[in-house]
Amino acid sequence: MIRSSSRQGRGTAIFGNDAWAEDAPGLKTLDDALNLREKILTAFERAELAMGADPEIAKRLHAFVVIGAGPTGVETAGAIAELAQSMARDLRNIRAEDTKVLLLEGGPRVLQSFKDKLSCRAEADLQALGVEVRTNTMVTDIKYGRLQTSTGEVLAKTVVWAAGVQASPAARWLGLEAGRSGHVFVDTTLRAEGFENVYVIGDTADRMEGDGPVPGIAPVAKQMGVYVGKRIAAEVRGAAFDKPFRYSDAGALATIVRNKALADIFGLRVTGFIGWILWGAAHVYFLIGIKNRLFVTL
């Protein structure tokens, strides 16, 4: 059984608080990125105009909040801080130090999938850029221009939600009970529980290994796809295929800003410019075609 949806396959999980989506959009698609870029640039322009007439409004306009300190949240916060420095050179009334970029994380540290040392380095790099990092902070309410959190109220006109991934509605299609963020529980062969001929992979699958679920990242989805392809090919040939799925973790990569990134690959842990080079090389490697790789590298 094959069923897919390019628009529904992956979205932003706001954990039951759908009313927040309008004021705290996610960052999952190209359209999301373009809309966010326009929103940020417009906020700076409006803050520039408001600075003389109403400094308090201007302060809220160039305050930015990113919720969730995973790779997406860390990169977004770093990019906004870097953009603020660039915008300050083009605007008369706005200084880079006047811009507030706040990164909120419900857990004890940023980039929790990384080792402690790399996580601490990422937080230090963010703070050096002017990003304020608040860990152990839960968001309890979001209204336009105002957030309520477990550590106090935050006033900001631009909020980005980077705290979760919403699975496709496959559980509903199959009449199954959904797991975390709509995920489908699968067995060791990646089949939906109770089905012999339905495989679920990628962000839609909830597969537990070790102490928790396998991460919702591209290498997992690719390995799942290869595994299921082999199983289906074996079934077509009438051959046995009893090997369970096991995720082979080669490491993790995250970028903060240009020339600053983290890499943990096969036990090799590097940061800064070298980490950024490895991060870029890995992403270029997985592009399709020599022409695309050369173009992106240049």
pLDDT at 222: 92
Residue 14's nearest CA partner among 141, 152, 178 is 141
Rounded to whole angstroms, how far apart are CA atoms 55 and 59? 6
The pLDDT profile of the chain, 298 residues, written as one tens digit per residue, is: 333 333 444 555 555 566 676 778 888 788 888 998 999 999 888 888 887 778 788 888 889 999 999 888 999 999 999 988 888 788 878 777 888 999 999 889 998 878 888 899 999 999 999 999 999 999 888 888 888 898 889 988 899 988 866 677 888 888 888 776 678 889 999 999 889 889 999 888 888 887 777 877 788 999 999 999 999 999 999 998 889 999 988 788 888 988 899 888 877 888 899 988 988 888 898 888 899 999 988 8
pLDDT for position 123: 93
* Partner residues linked to 142 by β-bridges: 147
Q: Are 147 and 171 in contact (CB under 8 A)?
A: no
Q: Is there a contact between 180 and 206 (Cβ–Cβ < 8 Å)?
A: yes
Q: Which residues are marked as active site?
A: 75
Distance CA 297, CA 293 (A): 6
Q: pTM score, two decimals?
A: 0.79
Angle at 272 between CA 165 and CA 76, to 5 degrees: 30
pLDDT at residue 10, rounded to an integer: 52
Q: Do 171 and 177 touch, CB atoms closer than 8 A?
A: yes
In the sheet that 158-161 helps form, which strands lie side by side, from edge to edge? Answer: 131-134, 100-104, 63-67, 158-161
The confidence score (pLDDT) of residue 5 equals 36
What is the 8-class DSSP label of residue 215? P
Burial per residue of 47-76, b for 16 or more beta-carbon CB atoms within 10 angstroms, e otherwise: bbebbeeeeeebbbbbbbbbbbbbbbbbbb
Among positive and negative, which fits the CA dihedral 269, 273, 279, 281?
A: negative
Phi, psi of 269 (to 5 degrees): -115, 115
pLDDT score recorded for residue 8: 42
Report the distance separating Cα 129 and Cα 108, nearest Å.
21
Residue 12: its pLDDT value, please?
Answer: 53
Model pLDDT, residue 16: 53
